[in-house]
Structure 1
Amino acid sequence: MMHEFLANNRQALIERCRAKVAQRPARAATAQQLQNGVPLFLEQIIRTLRVEQTDEPMEGRKISGPSNGAATRSEVGATAAQHGRELLKLGFSVDQVVHDYGDLCQAITDLAYERDAPFEVDEFRTLNRCLDNAIADAVTEFSYQRDDALEEEHAREAKQQQGFFAQELRNLLSKAALAFAAVKTGNLNVNGATGSVLERSLTGLRDMIDQSLAEVRVAAGKPVQSQMFSVAEFIAEVKYAADLAAQVRGCVLTVSPVDGELAVSGDRDLLYSAVGNLLQNAFAFTHSHTEVTLNAYAVADRVLIDVTDHCGGLRAGDAEKMFLPFTLDSADKSGLRLGLSIARRGVESSDGALTVRNIPDTGCVFTISLPRYAMTGR
């Protein structure tokens, strides 16, 4: 009988499973896991097989669980769930859960073949049921604990990001308040240095609020208000608002002429916010008194909008990091690059793409790519 074979060869099976685990160095099983994992499960299989040879075979389901996949409390399920939790704590993937139980199944099969041990069909069915329930319960618990941990991590990240954002708003507001108080009490010229501090602070507040509103809209998944519009008129509107920000930052904004026949289709507000965020990023990180350029042109069936700065170029591996929110990478700490993350999602909502190209020792070129259309009826 299988339960006698398993009981008589219990230690040999355990050693074979441990050897298989040792062949996977990343598994790094502890002595306690090796003692309480496979050995305990093997003992449950033996007990289940023994009970099923008695006058009340269904009592074995209390140990192994049913064969129909129904959710029920069983000893195998409890042990397997604990095993899944332990593997998650070690930082392993769900396939390690399946491997551990597969090791035992393989060890039993190999040893039975080597010793020519005959088993009944019903015994194999019981073994398969125990393995099936153990894997299912272990994987379920592993997934549940993993998802719960991810949710907690996301909540912590969101709270941290909110704190960063609130701190930036507070810093800008404090600067604006101090500058206003200085102008008011000192009868200072608003066009002087103090007025410039006030202007920069108010501009920064406006930009962060605009970014936040765009973020809320994208995150809420509101329907895209798609419309076709002239690229030339769009760029002219962007330039009008960006000129002031360029002056505040002490850099030059150059905008190239745009073909009046070019058009794009998408959410104009989100695209306006995206281009504005790219320009604000360029103004913040470009070197003092250098040029930021804005170009819009057609290439085949696409309209490309480039924003080029003179930040000095990127370090290796920094290109994609730039689109992660709440990252700092400059002596100018007034920007958290929240805008780049929002800009990319805003562009993608209009079936576009936002990429960055590094020009070593010179700067960056941010490019928005959108489907090309032509203005009609003009």
Structure 2
Amino acid sequence: MLHVFLTNQRAELIERCRAKVAKRASPEATADEMDHGVPFFLDQLIKTLKVEQTDKPMESRKVSGASGGGKPALSELSEVAAQHGRELLRRGFTVEQVVHDYGDLCQSITDLAFEVDEPVEVDEFRTLNRCLDNAIAMAVTEFNYQRDFVMADKHIQTLNVQIGFFTHELRNLLNTATLALFAIKDGNLSLSGATGSVLNRSLVGMGSLIDRSLTDVRLIAGLPVRNALFALSDFIGEIKLSAALEAKVKECVLTVSAVDLRLALDADRDLLLSAVGNLLQNAFKFTHRGTEVILNAYSVGDRILIDVEDHGDGLPPGEAETMFEPFTQGGKDKSGMGLGLSIARRGVEANDGILSVRNKPDEQGCVFTIDLPRHAMPLN
């Protein structure tokens, strides 16, 4: 009888499964993966086969569940399989490993039975398949349920952090603007004075923060890119108008090169405006006071390049690989949310472009470059 064979060969079957696990996973993972699946399943399978040899064979369904697919019914085996799925997820395994565990046992049973010439009745083999089917279904179901729960929890935590950063930054800017406005009103001060500059700086900061956040929401939501053909010179001119105000607030010089009137972009203008705007904000943030921030747009072959160059301290070794990650802030100035460069890269990539950064040779500062497909304005 199969249950006698399984009982006598229990240790050998577990060892064979352990060897199979070791071949596809690290040796350290073998014990963790094995201790929460195969031994317990074997015990439930043996118990099921024993019950089916009694005068009440249908009682075995309480142990291992019924056949026929669909939603797995509660049973002793399903509870063990669900525990196995939970444990493997908690220990960092994949759903493939959950399925492989039970497949390993099935193969080990059939191989060993063949080697020792152990006959397996048709009904016994059907019971084995039913138990495997139910165990895999419940383990995978529980694994996916727990994984979805964990992912949702991580998403909520990330969202809470993001909202927290946004509200904290917005509150600080609003508070500064409010205090500056009260000071101007109470002291009958001029808007062109130092206090007026504080108010202006706070309002510009709030506008930039809101624009950045709206772009981020649009990218995360996966809204379709709204492509349109537009002149590169008009695009750079629009950016120059808004950036000039921020350059004045930051007490630095903005230099914008002349742009070939024939060059054009076929892209989502709003996403690119946000991307270049974020790069300029980053440049104004880190360039030394009184130095120059340069915006240069030109063509090389079939590409259009937009450079944003600052005169700051440059990039420390290795920072170029991490600075585009969300909530990453380099340099001494830790103001802001650390999202601008991440949003800029996603906006550029959504338009089939590439965003890169490099240190300037023999100079302080760095250059961010947006690389986009080149187009031309139609002839009149």
- TM (norm. structure 1) is 0.88
Alpha-carbon distance between aligned partners in 2 of 1:255 and 1:90, rounded to the nearest angstrom: 54
Residue pairs, 1:165-204, within 5 angstroms = 165-204=166-205
Q: Which amino acid aligns with 1:368?
A: I
Partner SS state of residue 319, structure 1: helix
The equivalent residue for 2:307 is 306
Gap runs ≥5 in structure 2: none
Instruction: State the match for 1:91 in structure 2.
Output: 92
| 1:128 maps onto 2:110 in alignment | no
Give the distance between the partners of 1:107 and 1:70, measured in 2 at CA.
Answer: 27
What does the per-residue CA deviation read over 1:90-135, in whole Å, with 9 as the maximum and x for residues that have no partner?
2222233234334433443454344332223443343233223322
Looking at structure 1, the residues matched to 328 and 186 of structure 2 have their Cα atoms a distance apart, in angstroms, of 37
**What residue in structure 2 maps to residue 374 of structure 1?**
376
RMSD of equivalent CA atoms: 2.8
AA of the residue aligned to 1:363? G
Shift of 1:317: 3.8
Q: Which residue of 2 aligns with 1:254?
A: 255
Q: Distance in 1 between the 2:80 and 2:149 partners?
A: 20
Aligned 8 A contact 2:314 2:360 in 1: yes
Of stretches 356-365 and 270-279 in structure 1, the one that deviates more from structure 2 is 356-365
Q: Could you tell me which residue of structure 2 aligns to residue 81 of structure 1?
A: 82
Q: 1:309 to 1:103 in 2, by over 3 A?
A: same
Matched-pair contact (CA < 8 Å) for 1:323–1:344: yes
User: Which residue does 2:3 correspond to in 1?
Assistant: 3
Question: Quick one: structure 1 residues 128 and 287, their matched pair in 2 at CA, closer, same or farther if it must change by over 3 Å?
Answer: farther
For residues 195-218 of structure 1, the C-alpha deviation after alignment (integer angstroms, 9 at most, x for no partner) is 332222121111112222323333
> 2:40 corresponds to which residue?
40
Q: CA deviation at 1:265?
A: 1.4
1:115 counterpart residue number? 116
Paired AA for residue 154 in structure 1: H
Answer whether contact 1:175 1:201 (CA < 8 A) is retained: yes
Hey, what's the Cα distance between the residues in 1 that align with 2:357 and 2:159? Answer: 26
Tell me if structure 1 keeps the 8 A contact 2:18–2:30.
Answer: no
Query: For 1:227-285, what per-residue CA distance to the aligned partner results, in whole angstroms no more than 9, with x for missing partners?
Result: 21110111111112111211211222221211110011122222222211111111112
Cα separation, partners in 2 of 1:300 and 1:39, compared to 1, 3 Å = same
> Is the contact between residue 228 and residue 266 of structure 2 (CA under 8 Å) also seen in structure 1?
yes
Structure 1 pair 317–95 and aligned structure 2 pair: CA distance change class (3 A): farther
Asked whether the 8 Å contact 2:72–2:134 carries over to 1, the reply is no
Q: 1:54 to 1:85 in 2, by over 3 A?
A: same
Q: Would the aligned equivalents of 1:284 and 1:335 in 2 still touch at CA under 8 Å? A: no
The structure-2 alpha-carbon separation of the partners of 1:21 and 1:217, relative to structure 1 and needing over 3 Å to count, comes to closer
Counterparts of 2:107 and 2:211, CA distance in 1: 60
Which amino acid in the other structure matches residue 70 of structure 2? A
Do the aligned residues in 1 keep the contact of 2:45 with 2:128 (CA within 8 Å)?
A: yes
Residue 105 of structure 1 corresponds to: 106
In the other structure, the counterpart of 1:324 is 325
> What is the distance in 2 between the residues matched to 1:161 and 1:209?
13
Q: Distance in 1 between matches of 2:237 and 2:307?
A: 14
Residues 224-243 of structure 1: pairs in structure 2 closer than 5 A: 224-243=225-244
Gap runs ≥5 in structure 1: none
Letter in 1 for 2:346: R
Q: Which amino acid aligns with 1:39?
A: P
The CA distance in 1 between the partners of 2:339 and 2:295, in whole Å, is 21
- Equivalences, count: 376
- 2: distance between equivalents of 1:109 and 1:138? 22
Q: Distance in 1 between matches of 2:359 and 2:104?
A: 49
The answer to whether residue 52 in structure 2 is matched with residue 63 in structure 1 is no
**Higher alpha-carbon deviation: 62-71 or 232-241:** 62-71
Q: Which moved more, 1:146-155 or 1:336-345?
A: 336-345
In the other structure, the counterpart of 2:143 is 142
- Structure 1 counterpart of 2:245, which letter? L
In structure 1, what is the equivalent of residue 298 of structure 2?
297
Letter in 2 for 1:5: F
Question: CA 1:223/1:37 → structure 2, altered by over 3 Å: closer, same or farther?
Answer: closer
CA 258–180 in structure 1, closer or farther in 2 if over 3 Å, else same = same
Alpha carbons 2:323, 2:329 under 8 Å: kept: no
How far 1:15 sits from its partner (Å)? 5.0
